[in-house]
Amino acid sequence: MQKFKEKLKNTPTNAQLVCSSVNSQLNKDENPSVESMVLSLNNSEVDQFVLKEQKQDLRVPVVYVLNMRGKPLMPTNCRKAKKLLKTGKAKVIKRIPFTIQLKYPTGEAKQNITLGIDIGYSNIGFSAISEKQELISGTVVLENKMVKRLEEKSMYRRGRRNKLWYRKPRFLNRVSTKKEGWIPPSIERRFQTHISLIERIKKLLPISKLRIEVAKFDIQKLENPNIEGEGYKKGNLYNYRNRIAYLIAREKGNCQFCGKPYKKGDGWRLHHIFGKEKDRSQDWALLHESCHIELHQKHLEDVLRKQKSKSYKESTFMNIIRWKFRETFPEAEITFGNITFQDRVELNLEKSHVNDAFIIAKGKNQSRGFEYTIEQKQKNNRCLQLNRKGFKPSIRKQRYLHQPQDLIKVNSRIFKVKGIHSYGKQIMLKDLLGNILNKAVKKLDEYHFYQGTLKWRICG
């Protein structure tokens, strides 16, 4: 006698490759008198059809393993890790990515693992592969808030100096004149994020080889593809009397605000697109005198900022940072974007930071692994002092244990930390739906910290 397999709605018995009931009473128009059950499928073609429809992602997660001294070993599968945790032979070190540490001595047989890094201005791709599979991969999303922090730093410094009665004059005290090899803070932070990522992965996997993709950009060639020889010595204003003459030739005598040519009695006026404090030679606009007045009276500055010339911050960053990688990782193998492009086309992979890192690591037929998205976050606020009217400043010296974006488990539900209040006694939590929950810190069930400035999460 055949066993009942699953519940399905009544379907026509003459339909090809469709599950249907063999009970005649279930095919009547009136309400069925017996439960609508369907017998097991005996058609192999139907079984193949169902398996194809239920096909899922075949990527297998791995568990990262550390020895008793905290050094990385080859990762294992979930089944073996669960058995080690149940028998008390290992303990959990980190939740994302899931990492365990062994409590007993073991051998240290390791395979060759290659780590590929796709460096970038806003996103970093990484992928570590062995001979058979991809062990870890993902993308780091940089916050790009260094300029804002420098503006805050300047504001606080100016406030401190204004309170001084006298300040001794200082000359030639800039960091760039004292420290050899100095680079701008925004580039330095991005470079340090690359180093932090590489060191973090080396603590999870026994990396034996590092491959990094670098690039060199000719910015003048990007602006003018036909430039060559003596043309590199001649700037935009070459052979022009002044900047107005250059802008008239560039805009073909039209105003950049209204788009109309020169008006008699209404002269030309130069306009800083991003303000005088951020003056750049290519970010000037040519306006009628009347259009310039209208622009400021109606606060329409964003109209011109949308028409600004192309920025080459990414290209400049890549030109500076490639030498820093050669100095910091002399053992690393350097590759270039054209090689990555050719290999990616041969493997028929779409353009992405993760796929580029997989190609950089010389990946070919390895089974792909889970992708992580790592978001960079700010670890500390600059303002640690609250000024109160009529009272002396209240200085907060303590850094609370729980920080924003940490995970908290309350009543079997996962929350993210949004903030701390009541002098660290109350914590504000936020669930996946955006609901806010206030909870006493003493009543928390379980918590997980995001160490450092990088917080990991699984894609999807």
CA distance 452 to 163: 35
User: Alpha-carbon distance 197 to 373, whole Å?
Assistant: 12
pTM over 0.95: no
Whole-angstrom Cα distance, residue 81 to residue 19?
A: 40
Bond from prior residue into 97 cis (ω within 30 degrees of 0): yes
End-to-end distance of the chain based on CA atoms, in angstroms? 44
Give CA–CA dist 21/12, Å, rounded: 9
Query: By C-alpha distance, which of 127, 129, 126, 125 is closest to 113?
Result: 129
Q: Are 317 and 187 in contact (CB under 8 A)?
A: yes
- Residue 293 parent element (H or E): helix 289-297
CB 133 within 8 Å of CB 184: no
Please say whether the beta carbons of 35 and 25 come within 8 A. no
CA dihedral 408, 413, 416, 420 (to 10 degrees): -60
Contact at 8 Å (CB) between 363 and 355?
no
Contact predicate 270/285, CB 8 Å: yes
- What share of the chain has pLDDT > 90, as a percent? 25
Please report the sign of the dihedral spanned by the C-alpha atoms of residue 61, residue 124, residue 216, residue 181: negative
Residues 6+ apart with CB under 8 A from 97: 64, 136, 204, 372, 456
Query: Which residues in the chain show pLDDT less than 70?
Result: 1-60, 165, 171-178, 274-282, 303-310, 379-398, 445-460
CA distances (Å), origin 326, targets 213, 293, 320, 322, 359:
11, 52, 11, 7, 20
Count, residues in the chain: 460
So what's the pLDDT on residue 44?
36
Provide the pLDDT for residue 41: 38
Nearest to 126 by CA among 115, 114, 112: 115
Between CA 236 and CA 247 the distance in angstroms is 10
| Strands of the 371-376 sheet, one edge to the other | 333-336, 209-214, 114-118, 123-129, 134-141, 371-376, 454-458
Which tokens hold the place of 279?
């003056």
Measure the CA–CA gap between 72 and 171, rounded to whole angstroms.
Answer: 50
pLDDT value of position 447: 58
pLDDT at position 71 is 93
For residue 134, the model assigns a pLDDT of 92
Cα→Cα distances 444→219, 399, 418, 420, Å: 54, 19, 15, 13
Nearest-angstrom CA–CA distance, 280 and 277: 9
Beta bridge partners of 168: none
CA distances from 34 to 1, 2, 27, 39, 281 (A): 18, 17, 11, 14, 83
CB 373 within 8 A of CB 141: yes
| Residues linked to residue 437 through DSSP beta bridges, in sequence order | 429
* Tens of pLDDT, residues 34-61: 333 333 333 333 333 333 333 334 455 7
Question: Within 10 Å of residue 209's Cβ, how many Cβ atoms?
Answer: 15
- What token pair was written down for 236? 């935009």
